[in-house]
Amino acid sequence: MHLRLSSILLGLAACGAAVPAPRAALPLDGNSFVVIDARVFDGERAIEHANVVVRDGRIASVDTHAPPRDLPVVDGAGRTLLPGLIDAHTHVRTETMLRDALRFGVTTQLDMFTEVPFMQAHRAQRDSLARTDLSDMFSAGAPVTSAGGMGTQFGIPFPTIAGPEEAPAFVRDRLAEGSAFLKILFEPDAEIVSTISQETLAAVVAAAHTQGAITAVHITSQAGARGVVAAGADGLAHLFGDQPIDDVLIHAIVAHEMFVIATLTAHAHLTGKGISPSLAADPRIAPFLTAGQREDLAVTAPTPDDPMGPYLVRFNLAQASDNARRLRAAGVPILAGDDASNFGAYGAGLHGELELLVRAGLTPAEALTAATLAPARAFELADRGRIAPGARADLVLVDGDPLVDITATRAIVQIFKNGYPIDRAPR
């Protein structure tokens, strides 16, 4: 038998047939390698038995041709290669939060407001291909809110806006500080905080568009969403659950080509059906959690006598999930965001949001797009959210097939940031 096998191999070589290259063991050292024989989800679709070549931190090719023999090899057989995940709704205040997210495959975070100096200190990192153990952050910096409005309760020294006449200068100041987009806080019927007026909202959106900025607006009610659509904003930073969405609003969102960040994690937690306990118990998640992340996942839902009770009743997981399903069926881009640090744990929480999106009626492929290509398109991040030539090599290799079982995103084999392998040991 051994002679027979040797004869076959010699015959194949003589005929010019490719003999598979030896497969190198992880971890790799540099940021050039090839992943072979993987199921590749490129942000929209799957390519079976594909090879992905990475050179100097960027993707060089994605195809089913014979792989080059001059690069270290990563075995993709039986595995799925995903673009680095993008969490479309977080609030980042420390490097620990950036590090924790990356350890769970979240290579980019869209920060919906944070301290301006922190944003400025980490702005340059997102353009670099250097080795790092931090996820990239695109931040709104200071939000657009009124005196005593939503966001001011956190004690961060934000400037506030009083009326529409201030909008052009207010937007100009935020962009000069380095904001990647504008986060606007609009709560016309919350009754627990003040809010900007409809006129101010419209003026800020118009000023942002004139100055080339994307606008994402915080709302928690259908009434708020209607105001945002009327103002012509680019997207909703939450999906409301206080009422069923109607066809008129759906058609308006479609007509305005808006995106919606569902944040079903928030609705689940505040409805008392949070997904955090199952994440903390998942053997694919638990070994990589820090003590701080475990504490975040252990936070319980507010009790009925909570002072914010009258406001929190508008969070309803079943209703928000049905609204998400109807919007996605109409073609509205749904973006995956878990509202860390308000709910759950950085990085791990996004895997829970993916599960909630699938429970809501999205296909696993649609949920994966919601955490990769959809936020990249919505926020004009050209070099990430996809596996294609020229994109940065932010990649997540997982065991199994998340296109069949979305929880397979948790079975992480290896994470690459800028092409460099990431050490997942919690610290």
Which residues, at least 6 apart from 380, have a Cβ–Cβ distance to it below 8 Å? Answer: 214
Q: Give buried/exposed letters for 28-66 (b at 16+ CB in 10 A, else e).
A: beebbbbbbbbbbbbbeebbeebbbbbbebbbbbbeeee
Q: In what order do the strands lie in the sheet with 136-139?
A: 85-90, 106-111, 136-139
Read off the pTM.
Answer: 0.93
Inter-residue contact 218 to 237 (CB < 8 Å): yes
Q: Per this entry, what is the length of the chain? A: 427
Between CA 196 and CA 213 the distance in angstroms is: 19
Closest among 118, 87, 196 to 152, alpha carbons compared: 196
The answer to the question of residue 100 being in a domain is: yes
359 vs 130, 201, 220, 353, 363, CA distance in Å? 38, 33, 21, 10, 9
The answer to the question of residue 61 being in a domain is: no
The answer to the question of residue 137 being in a domain is: yes
417: left (phi over 0), alpha (psi -120 to 50) or beta: beta
DSSP conformation letters of 84-100? PEEEEEE---SHHHHHH
Which residues, at least 6 apart from 246, have a Cβ–Cβ distance to it below 8 Å? Answer: none
> Chain centroid to CA 110: how far?
7
The answer to the question of residue 19 being in a domain is: no
Inter-residue contact 205 to 232 (CB < 8 Å): yes
The answer to the question of residue 67 being in a domain is: no
Helix, strand, coil share (%) of the chain residues, nearest 5: 35, 20, 45
Which residues, at least 6 apart from 130, have a Cβ–Cβ distance to it below 8 Å? Answer: 418
Between CA 327 and CA 322 the distance in angstroms is: 9
DSSP conformation letters of 18-87? PPPPPPPPSPP-SS-EEEEEEEEE-SS-EEEEEEEEEETTEEEEEESSPPPSSS-EEE-TTEEEEEPEEE
Between CA 86 and CA 96 the distance in angstroms is: 17
In 274-423, where do the E strands start and end?
334-335, 395-399, 412-417, 420-421
Residue span of the structural domain in which 328 resides? 85-384
The answer, yes or no, to whether the previous bond of 27 is cis (omega within 30 of 0) is yes
Residue 247 token pair: 């066809």
The answer to the question of residue 280 being in a domain is: yes
Tens place of pLDDT per residue across the chain (427 aa): 333 333 333 343 333 333 334 344 445 789 999 999 999 999 999 999 999 999 999 999 999 999 999 999 999 999 999 999 999 999 999 999 999 999 999 999 999 999 999 999 999 999 999 999 999 999 999 999 999 888 888 788 899 999 999 999 999 999 999 999 999 999 998 888 899 999 999 999 999 999 999 999 999 999 999 999 999 999 999 999 999 999 999 999 999 999 999 999 999 999 989 999 999 999 999 999 999 999 999 998 888 788 777 788 889 999 999 999 999 999 999 999 999 988 989 999 999 999 999 999 999 999 999 999 999 999 999 999 999 999 999 999 999 999 999 999 999 999 999 999 999 999 8
Between CA 44 and CA 171 the distance in angstroms is: 34
pLDDT attached to residue 186: 97
- Any idea what the CATH number is for the domain that residue 237 is in? 3.20.20.140
Between CA 360 and CA 275 the distance in angstroms is: 14
Inter-residue contact 224 to 189 (CB < 8 Å): yes
Task: Give the chain's domain count.
Answer: 1
pLDDT attached to residue 25: 42
Between CA 382 and CA 376 the distance in angstroms is: 7
Orientation angle between helical segments 198-210 and 222-231, nearest 10 degrees: 40
Query: What is the number of alpha carbons within 13 Å of residue 214 lying toward its C-beta?
Result: 22
* DSSP-derived 3-state class of residue 126: helix
The answer to the question of residue 92 being in a domain is: yes
Inter-residue contact 40 to 387 (CB < 8 Å): yes
The answer to the question of residue 73 being in a domain is: no
